[in-house]
Amino acid sequence: MNKDIKNTGVEPKFVKFYNLRHNPFNLEPEQKYFYINSTLGQRMEFLNRLVKSDDFLILVIGEEGAGKTTLLNHFLSKASEKWRSCKISATPASEKTEFENLNGHPAFILQNEELPVIMLDNAHKLSTDELQFLIELAGKSGHSSKLKRVVLFCEPKIQVKLSDLSSKVSDENTINKIYIPQLTNGDTKEYLEQRLNVAGYKGQFPFSANDLGKISKQGGIPGKINEEAAIILEKKADRNIFNKLRNIGLVAASFIAAVLISAVFLKDNNNVIKDKSENIKIESPEFEDIIEEEDPVEKINETRKQETLEEKDPVEEISEAQKQEILEKIGEVDVTISEEKKKDTTEPKVSQTPPKEKKVAKKKTVNLRELKRERWLLAQKPSYFTLQILGVRKKESLLRFVRKHKLKNYAYFHTSFKNKDWYPLLYGVYPTFKAATSAIKKLPKEFREYSPWVRQMSSVHRAIRNKRTALNIKKIIAIKSDRQKANES
Residue 254 placed within a domain: no
Does one domain contain both 336 and 467?
yes
Global confidence as pTM: 0.47
DSSP collapsed to 3 states, the chain: CCHHHHCCCCCCHHHHHCCCCCCCCCCCCCHHHCCCCHHHHHHHHHHHHHHCCCCCEEEEECCCCCCHHHHHHHHHHHCCCCCEEEECCCCCCCCCCCCCCCCCCEEEEECCCCCCEEEECCHHHCCHHHHHHHHHHHHCCCCCCCCCEEEEEECCCHHHHHHCCHHHCCCCCCEEEEECCCCCHHHHHHHHHHHHHHCCCCCCCCCCHHHHHHHHCCCCCHHHHHHHHHHHHHHHHHHHHHHHHHHHHHHHHHHHHHHHHHHHHHHHHHHHHHCCCCCCCCCHHHHHHHHHHHCHHHHHHHHHHCCCCCCCCHHHHCCHHHHHHHHHHCCCCCHHHHHHHHHHHHCCCCCCCCHHHHHHHHHHHCCHHHEECHHHHHCCCCCCEEEEEEEECCHHHHHHHHHHHCCCCEEECCEEECCEEEEEEEEEEECCHHHHHHHHHHCCHHHHCCCCEEEEHHHHHHHHHHHHHHHHHHHHHHHHHHHHHHHHC
Average pLDDT (455-480) is: 89
Residue 143 placed within a domain: yes
Domain C-terminal end among 146, 179, 212: 179
Does one domain contain both 289 and 424?
yes
What does pLDDT average to over the chain?
Answer: 74
Domain count, the chain: 2
- Tens of pLDDT, residue by residue over 387-439, are 999 999 999 998 888 888 887 778 999 998 888 899 999 999 999 999 999 99
Domain C-terminal end among 179, 211, 230: 179
Does one domain contain both 456 and 326?
yes
pLDDT at 168: 58
Question: Which domain covers residue 433, as residue numbers?
Answer: 282-488
Residue 140 placed within a domain: yes
Average pLDDT (314-340) is: 43
Does one domain contain both 448 and 307?
yes
CATH code: domain of residue 70: 3.40.50
CATH code: domain of residue 301: 3.30.70.1070
pLDDT at 392: 92
Residue 241 placed within a domain: no
Average pLDDT (290-313) is: 34
- Tens of pLDDT, residue by residue over 224-233, are 999 999 999 9
Residue 14 placed within a domain: no
Domain C-terminal end among 155, 179, 203: 179
Does one domain contain both 427 and 287?
yes
